[in-house]
Amino acid sequence: MESPFVSVLLPVYNGGAVLSDSIKSILDQTYRNFELIIIDDGSTDDSASIIREFDDARIRSYNQRNRGLAGTLNRAIELSTGEYIARQDQDDLAYPQRLAKQIEFLETRPHCAMVGTWASIWTGEREASRVHRHPTDSLVLKFELLFDNPFVHSTIMVRKSALAKVGFYDELRQPPEDYELWSRIARKFEVANIPEILEIYREVPSSMSRAKLNPFLDRVIDISAENIAFVTGRAHSHQVAVDLSALARRAYHRVSSKPSLMEITALLLEAARKLCSSSNSPPGALGVQVKSRLLSIRQSYYYYRYGIGLNRIMAYLDELMKRNGYRKGDE
């Protein structure tokens, strides 16, 4: 057999009925030269029997005691033989041309280490009216990574050589193990998203990333603050970076008692300038993204400090000016 060019990693834990369709969506890809590494991470349902139903030479399946998503993915990477590593989740579906288009993208862009795609959002078996349309440009993605994760995990394809340089998933940072890894990759390489829906992403209402009270949010803030501090050359625990990250997520329990809006704004602008400088882009290349973030941060700040939104403050100031005889446009 021809050596597989791509290794598709599919971790499984109690996959149930959705697992079969996910496996089929990979086996039905138009691109054929891949191996599908399936690791059953200690499932207690019928996942193991579902996997055994498939008779395809490209499947390499393993069983293990439960060790979590990051550890399972790291084992799959170690077992992989392909030059590219692609992700697939047990409850998501890949469109037939997904692998082919991602390979073509990376093969023609040697400086890009990782590429995701857009994804339609489903709730169970029903298509929602929402789509993950994350940014596609590397500079914009690196700016967004300062605050959040602009990639759909199950759409990712990454060069194995890049993982060898930055390391694998950090098992102590899960979740969000993916956000932390993408952040390390983006510090050394170009990254991208293909502006095309090539995956169906099933949204699980009870997932940790959507729960209100859980450690997920604090971990996101920690990684975000680290990213901001890294770009600006500050210590990871720098309080202004934490304030900026926490305000961006409206996680007011992590904001200091008297945050400085001036220092927070200056830090955000400095991070944008340094990203532009490192990519040889003009200072205004991130203008739209920076303005949007600044507005969001200011709204969050005023709500945190005064309990009201920025719109209400502006409306109050307009009313105050009218009462004193001023009109819009007056000097």
Rounded distance, CA 328 to CA 207, Å? 48
- pLDDT grade for 212, boundaries at 50, 70 and 90: very low
Half-sphere exposure of 31 (CA within 13 A, CB side): 20
Q: How far apart are CA 208 and CA 174, in angstroms?
A: 11
- Say what the pLDDT of residue 211 is: 41
Contact by Cβ (8 Å): 239, 254: no
Q: Is the pLDDT of residue 329 over 70?
A: no
pLDDT computed for residue 331 by the predictor: 42
For the chain, the average pLDDT equals 91
Type of residue at 179: Y
Confidence of residue 313 (pLDDT cuts 50, 70, 90): low
Residue 26 has pLDDT above 90, yes or no: yes
pLDDT score for 311: 61
Which tens digits make up the pLDDT trace of 103-154?
A: 999 999 999 999 999 999 998 777 778 899 999 999 999 999 999 999 999 9
Residues 70-90 have a mean pLDDT of 98
CB 8 within 8 A of CB 40: no
Mean pLDDT, to the nearest integer, of 245-273?
95
SS (H, E, C) the chain: CCCCCEEEEEEECCCCCHHHHHHHHHHCCCCCCEEEEEEEECCCCCHHHHHHCCCCCCEEEEEECCCCHHHHHHHHHHHCCCCEEEECCCCCEECCCHHHHHHHHHHCCCCEEEEEEEEEEEECCEEEEEEECCCCCHHHHHHHCCCCCCCCHHHCEEEHHHHHHHCCCCCCCCCCHHHHHHHHHHHHCEEEEEEEEEEEEECCCCCHHHCCCCHHHHHHHHHHHHHHHHHHCCCCCCHHHHHHHHHHCCCHHHCCCCCCHHHHHHHHHHHHHHHHHHCCCCHHHHHHHHHHHHHHHHHHHHHHHHCCCHHHHHHHHHHHHHHCCCCCCCC
What is the tens place of the pLDDT at every residue in 165-208?
999 999 998 899 999 999 999 999 999 999 999 999 998 754 43
Q: Which residues lie below 8 Å from residue 206, measured CB to CB, with a gap of 6+?
A: none
- Name the CATH topology of 6-210: Spore Coat Polysaccharide Biosynthesis Protein SpsA; Chain A (3.90.550)
Q: What is the pLDDT of residue 39?
A: 98
CA dist 287 and 191 (Å) reads 20
Cβ proximity of 32 and 99 under 8 Å: no
Whole-model pTM: value is 0.89
Write down the domain spans for the chain. 6-210, 215-314
pLDDT (average), residues 231-243: 88
Beta-bridge partners for 61: 38
| Predicted local distance difference test score (pLDDT) of residue 3 | 93
Asked if residue 43 has pLDDT above 50, the reply is yes
87 strand-pairing partners: 9
Place 325 in a pLDDT band, splitting at 50, 70 and 90.
low
**Per-residue b or e along 95-116, where b marks 16 or more CB atoms closer than 10 Å to that residue's CB:** beebbebbbebbeeeeebbbbb
Decide: 118 and 133 in contact? Cβ < 8 Å.
yes
Rounded distance between C-alpha atoms, residue 213 and residue 301, angstroms: 21
Both tokens of 101, joined, read 């288009």
For residue 209, what pLDDT is reported? 45
Distance separating alpha carbons of residues 134 and 131, to the nearest angstrom: 9
pLDDT above 70 as % of the chain: 89
Q: Give 314's pLDDT tier (boundaries 50, 70, 90).
A: low
Percentage of the chain exceeding pLDDT 90:
79
Report the distance separating Cα 153 and Cα 214, nearest Å.
20
Judged by average pLDDT, the poorest of 57-66, 116-125, 189-198, 238-247 is 116-125
- Average pLDDT for 71-100: 98
Residue 187 near residue 167, CB atoms below 8 Å? no
- For residue 182, the tally of other CB atoms under 10 A from its CB is 25
Q: Which residue has the tokens 């082919």?
A: 100
